[in-house]
Amino acid sequence: MSKAIVITVAGKGGVGKTSISATIVRCLCERYPDKRILAIDADPAVGLSTALGVDVKMTIDDIRKEIISSVDIGDTRGAIELLNEAKYRIFDALVETVGYSFIAVGRPETAGCYCKINSYLKEVISIVSEEFDFVVIDGEAGIEQINRRVMEKVTHLLLITDASKKGCRVISTIKSVADSLVMYEKVGAIVNRLPDDSFKKYIDTNGIEILNYIYEDKNLSAFDIMGENVFNLPSESNIVTGVKKALEKMEVLG
């Protein structure tokens, strides 16, 4: 594979975006056991690690904070050295598991402006991503990361909504912003947590292709309560079969 397939999962908060991101990782691992797969938790809520059962000890933001701390105390030389070493240090933050690797962006601080540092680290993430065949990014809720062009190198934009009008409006807005800021190749939507077919007539994605409807999944709800990861879900679970079908329609799964 000459070019990495980079799948960004985006949508309103509370629509099951993280569970779907984790399930994508599972589907890729099952279909392509010989490929290099990277899961990136770019949501400050840091839920993907729980959904995948990964123990995170260091995040990209931990590295960023060290750089900022060095700048704040006036150690310019140290900050430059940290920037130059950031690529290698981010590899240290990678969690290697059976079948895939994982990295968390963490919880960036809002105080102060360190645009150059954030931009540099974004580029470092891009460099790390080039080491993999598939990259799955669980983005933060809403459009902010799209607005900041954090998702510039996406190939597949997967938009998640529930049956609500608000959820549909959010993915429509995300696509509108992404159309001018992100050079994606394919886009599609999953309507998640659909109670039953009678609700389909109310769903308006503003022309975004609906790749699949995923009905409410009792197996997943139970796993969420128990803190189990998606790799242990029964293969016939709605979310597993539903995500697999959506990925096939996007031609991610051959």
Max CA-CA distance within the chain? Answer: 63
> How far is it, in rounded angstroms, from Cα 121 to Cα 61?
9
pTM above 0.95, yes or no: no
In a domain, 228, yes or no: yes
| Contact criterion met (CB below 8 Å) for 183 and 152 | yes
Is 200 part of a structural domain of the chain?
Answer: yes
Is residue 38 assigned to a domain? yes
Residue 254 in domain: no
**Phi/psi at 68 (5° precision):** -65, -40
Q: Print pLDDT tens along the chain (254 aa).
A: 458 899 999 999 999 999 999 999 999 999 999 999 999 998 877 789 999 999 998 888 888 777 777 766 766 666 567 667 677 778 888 999 999 999 988 865 554 455 555 566 567 677 777 889 999 999 877 766 665 555 667 899 999 999 999 999 999 999 998 898 888 899 999 999 999 999 999 999 999 999 999 999 998 988 888 888 999 999 999 999 999 999 999 999 98
Are the C-beta atoms of 204 and 198 separated by less than 8 Å?
no
- Residue 9 belongs to a domain: yes
Let me know: does 187 contact 208? Beta carbons within 8 Å.
yes
Q: Which domain holds residue 117?
A: 5-249
Burial of 160: CB neighbours in 10 Å, binned 0-12, 13-18, 19+ = buried
Q: Give the residue ranges of DSSP H helices in 73-182.
A: 76-93, 115-129, 144-147, 165-181
Please tell me the total count of domains within the chain: 1
Q: Given CA atoms 149, 151, 153, 154 in this order, what sign does their dihedral have?
A: negative
CATH number, residue 185: 3.40.50.300
The answer to whether residue 30 is domain-embedded is yes
Asked, for residue 123, whether it belongs to a domain, the answer is yes
